[in-house]
Amino acid sequence: MLFNSLEYIIFLPVVFFVYWLFFNKRLQAQNLFLLIASYFFYGFWDWRFLFLILASTIVDFFVGQCIYSSTSEKEKKNWLWLSILFNIGLLGFFKYYNFFIDSWIDLTSIFGYSIQNTWTLKIILPVGISFYTFQTMSYSLDIYHKRITPTKDFISFATFVSFFPQLVAGPIERASNLLPQILDRRVFKYSQTVDGLKLILWGFFKKLVIADALAPIVDDIFMNYHQYSSSTLITGVFFFTFQIYGDFSGYSDIAIGTAKLFGIELSPNFKFPYFSRNIAEFWRRWHISLSRWFRDYLYIPLGGSKAGTWISIRNVFIIFLVSGFWHGANWTFIIWGGIHALLFLPLLLTNSNRKYVSSIVAERTTLPSIKEFFQISTTFILVMFSWIFFRASSLTHAFGYLKTIFINTNSAPYDHPSGYRMIDYFIIIILFVIYEYRIRKNERAPFNFKSRYVRFLIYAILLLAMLLFYDDQIDRSFIYFQF
């Protein structure tokens, strides 16, 4: 079920009112109802996927109990490996099986061997599998490292795994944050509900007016890149840069806002990443829950940046390459991860990768300094061009796109059939960036204005823009559903 679908517009109010009218006094009833609603939400795509999420839930629930009750370190590790191998195996089969088969056949062909491809399977990628497998696996890892104690309430644990607002595209929640809220009875709070509705409105604006409006132009430019000039191709990458941000951060806002409606606070996932002053800050602001997952469960266990220069360099490349591969079974994502590793490396070697951990751009001033403006612009351009590999369907496509940018400079500077509509989109993006800069200090308060009239005027403008830009002829699914 898509957030931006008629079914969800009916589903959410029904679940909200039933939840607070009939299940507001008993914790078990609250969780059981949320679990049923979440399974209905997830099974709306394909009911067969429910068996996968249920299997992952059962395995990690009992593994957590076994790790906690084990008396020897060896026994604890064995149970932990069961969780890791099960979840990675589940993810590997459904997401990467055909990729490894195809890559093996391509590798053998380089050495002159011809293998008939009879091994690939028609596998449907279950929606959200990359997210909920990481979420359940982190539960077992946290118990093993004694960060949390396991719950004996299976319904509450299953609700933690399948909580529908963040189930299919995050944020990837930790048990230490979400599970205590699931295990504690929620009480209706008017202010929390209003804040949630505001975030939902802001998320829908990002999705419908920014991401969905730009999608057809981006698709056309990337599909037919050989027909267009350099300036049009750069425009295509620029538009995709805001399409993916509007799409994914819009989803996160809707998810966080929806969770608030049920008395639950989810972790942050985006904090204005395009105002970052270097690549390290960008990754502290982009897909925060995934970055922290890899930092805590892969980078730090490998030694982080405290195990010597060469080990640190190795760890940086591992973390970014794995992060790229997590996004999809394609070499383009691995190259995309490698590019960010190379961009991060100078910061690591100069010990400046943690320079902007606790500050924001122009923290005490209205406008950024010339230095900050240059840093933001440089980081944005580097990130923007790296998105070519993320968006391209293959390495041939990506390198062909880049090559055409550099060789097709003699064509018309602007030659896209959308014509003057492109100007409209540029204006919208500029206004959007200015507005985000205005609210950059708090991503959860997009309408933080003292005047009630100003707030209602903004609500009206956003709703009108969504009505004007809504197009039921385009694919309205979220980009990160494919991951």
Name the residues annotated as catalytic.
327
Tell me the two tokens of residue 232: 């049009």
Is 320 exposed, middle or buried, given 0-12, 13-18 or 19+ CB atoms closer than 10 A? buried
DSSP code per residue over 63-107: HHHHHHH-SSHHHHHHHHHHHHHHHHHHHIIIIIHHHHHHHHHHH
DSSP code per residue over 258-309: HHHHTT--PPP--S-GGG-SSHHHHHHHSSHHHHHHHIIIIITTTTTTSS-H
- Is residue 267 within 8 Å of residue 288, measured between CB atoms? yes
Bond from prior residue into 301 cis (ω within 30 degrees of 0) = no
The angle subtended at Cα 221 by Cα 424 and Cα 339, nearest 5°, is 105
- Is residue 235 within 8 Å of residue 394, measured between CB atoms? no
Q: Which among 197, 190, 195, 192 has a CA at the least distance from the CA of 181?
A: 192
Q: Say how far apart CA 137 and CA 297 lie, in whole Å.
A: 10
129 phi and psi, to 5 degrees? -65, -30
Other beta carbons less than 10 A from residue 3's beta carbon? 23
- What residue has token string 């993320």? 390
Q: Say how far apart CA 200 and CA 104 lie, in whole Å.
A: 45
The angle subtended at Cα 133 by Cα 132 and Cα 139, nearest 5°, is 90
